[in-house]
Amino acid sequence: MHSVILLPAYLAITVAPLVLAWMQDLPRRPVLDDLSSGLAMAAFAILLVEFVLSGRFRTISGRIGMDVTMRFHQLVARTALAFVLLHPFLYRTPFGPPLPWDVTGQSALDLDIRALASGMLAWVVLPGFVAISIWRDQLPYRYETWRLLHLVGAVVIAVAMSHHTLTIGRYSADPMLSGFWLALLSVAIGSLVYARVVAPILKARRPYRVVSVRKIALKTWEVAISPIRGQAHDFTAGQFAWLSLGRSAFSLAENPFSISSAPAGRPRLEFVIKEAGDLTDRIGSVRPGTVAYLDGPHGNLTLDGRTGAGIALIAGGVGIAPLLAIARQLEAEGDRRPLVLLYGNRVEEQIVYRDELDRMGRLPSVRVEHVVSQPAPDWGGSTGWIDRAAIERVFGFEGARDWLYLVCGPAPMLDAVEDALVGLGVPTGQIVSERFRYD
């Protein structure tokens, strides 16, 4: 499936309940009543599809990138929240007990507490649910605790909204529309079961063990794993996987890391991990022999299906990890296309695999350029940030417009590099980037 059909498919699913409601041709109500029902139905559809968006399905994230998928998931959740919050305030039809002759609920809105209670539950839980996701980093609990809360909250909201819609919804009494809701609900539940039960079972069948953990730069470690039995996962250079170390395959404690070794290096897989929080601060104490599980590969920061007159790899800090895999794979394949690796760090001590990069930089088709923003007095290379000036200096620029640019690093660097490249005339289709944070 091509990525361009994903958005129309998404819109079709979220608009379908409105079309199915309109097709029923029920007796007219005030416009605001229908707007209220429409917003609630669109929000319900959006929230059910959220289960699919967060299910790590490669059909979706493999095409548009996991970071874009998750950003979309976050933005549409906020839209659904706005719709849900507005929903009860728009009705103009008075509340009251159902009238025997008013089967379509045209003259009175049913106040039955059993059906209203589930709607009120969703209405109260949803804002808190979205708020703890937006301000997750400010709250005093671990990322894994948030994941558990997110999972439980999502199920509570979906169940409450289903009950409310199917028992009280004016349009959802219709068999076509209630059938649509049941089908979408099954897809949502199926996605959840896949992500939390099926995928972990598949993971558990392919255990790895840590073979080495070593410090390779300031606050940066190399973790190598290899399969306990069978083949290592097949992946394309530049992809990442959720890695869990010393936990059950069902644990919520797993973190996304790019695979920094080349596919040619299988069965050994390597990761470059920077100390950045709960797990990564303790990564140096992980012992060889520790059991590891992988959920992956994911991501589309790869050369797959892309071409360019040359290949530019632009990395900031630990963003080097996926780009290293690409550079290593190109070397293993003897690829002769011009390759430039522009690698920025705050200090020289953060540069990983210095010797290997120096050796690569001496290959006829390869250039490796370092930029350091806080150089020591004896640093002989370029200084500053990876910005437009650095890009123009390294790439030229005229002849580099039709190169392929793969970019990975901190968010401000990504924004600056993407803006600079577009400003220099590189078509957006020639720029592929990946963010290491989903917010």
Ligand X SMILES: Cc1cc2nc3c(=O)[nH]c(=O)nc-3n(C[C@H](O)[C@H](O)[C@H](O)COP(=O)(O)OP(=O)(O)OC[C@H]3O[C@@H](n4cnc5c(N)ncnc54)[C@H](O)[C@@H]3O)c2cc1C
Q: Which residues bind ligand X (CB under 6 A)?
A: 66, 137, 142-143, 240, 254-258, 271-274, 276-280, 299, 318, 321, 434, 436-438
Distance in Å, CB of 66 to ligand X, minimum: 6
User: Shortest distance, CB of residue 335 to ligand X, whole angstroms?
Assistant: 22
- Which is nearer to ligand X, 46 or 272 (by Cβ)? 272
Determine the number of helices (DSSP H) and then strands (DSSP E) in the chain.
12, 12
Using alpha carbons, list the distances in angstroms from residue 149 to 50, 80, 144, 153, 393: 15, 19, 9, 6, 48
Length of the chain measured in residues: 439
**Which spans in 169-258 are helix H?**
175-193, 199-204
Query: Does 175 sit behind a cis peptide bond, omega within 30 degrees of 0 on the bond before it?
Result: no
Q: Minimal distance in Å, beta carbon 142 to ligand X?
A: 6
Closest CA to 12 of 192, 180, 255, 251: 180
Report, in Å, the least distance between residue 319 CB and ligand X: 8
Using the minimum distance from each CB to ligand X, give the nearer residue, 180 or 240. 240
Question: What is the closest distance, in whole angstroms, from the C-beta atom of residue 294 to ligand X in the complex?
Answer: 13
Pick the closer one to ligand X by CB: 181 or 257. Answer: 257
Smallest distance, ligand X to C-beta of residue 254, A: 5
| Selection from 105, 83, 89 nearest residue 28 by Cα | 105
Rounded to whole angstroms, the Cα distance separating 40 from 81 reads 10
Q: How far is the CB of 417 from ligand X (least distance, A)?
A: 17
User: How many CA atoms lie less than 13 Å away from 366 in the CB half-sphere?
Assistant: 19
Give me the least distance between CB of 67 and ligand X, in Å please: 7
The residue (of 87 and 274) whose beta carbon lies closer to ligand X is 274
Report which residue's Cβ sits closest to ligand X: 277
- Give the CA angle between residues 370, 371, 373 to the nearest 5°: 150
Give the nearer residue to ligand X in terms of CB position, either 49 or 66.
66
Nearer to ligand X among residue 146 and residue 194 (C-beta) = 146
Return the number of the residue (66 or 161) whose C-beta is nearest ligand X. 66
Any idea of the CA torsion for 58, 61, 66, 68, to the nearest 10 degrees?
180
Q: Which is nearer to ligand X, 26 or 252 (CB)?
A: 252
- Spatial distance between the Cα atoms of 18 and 14, rounded to a whole number of angstroms: 8
Extract the tokens encoding 155.
């199920």
Strands 366-372 and 382-383: parallel
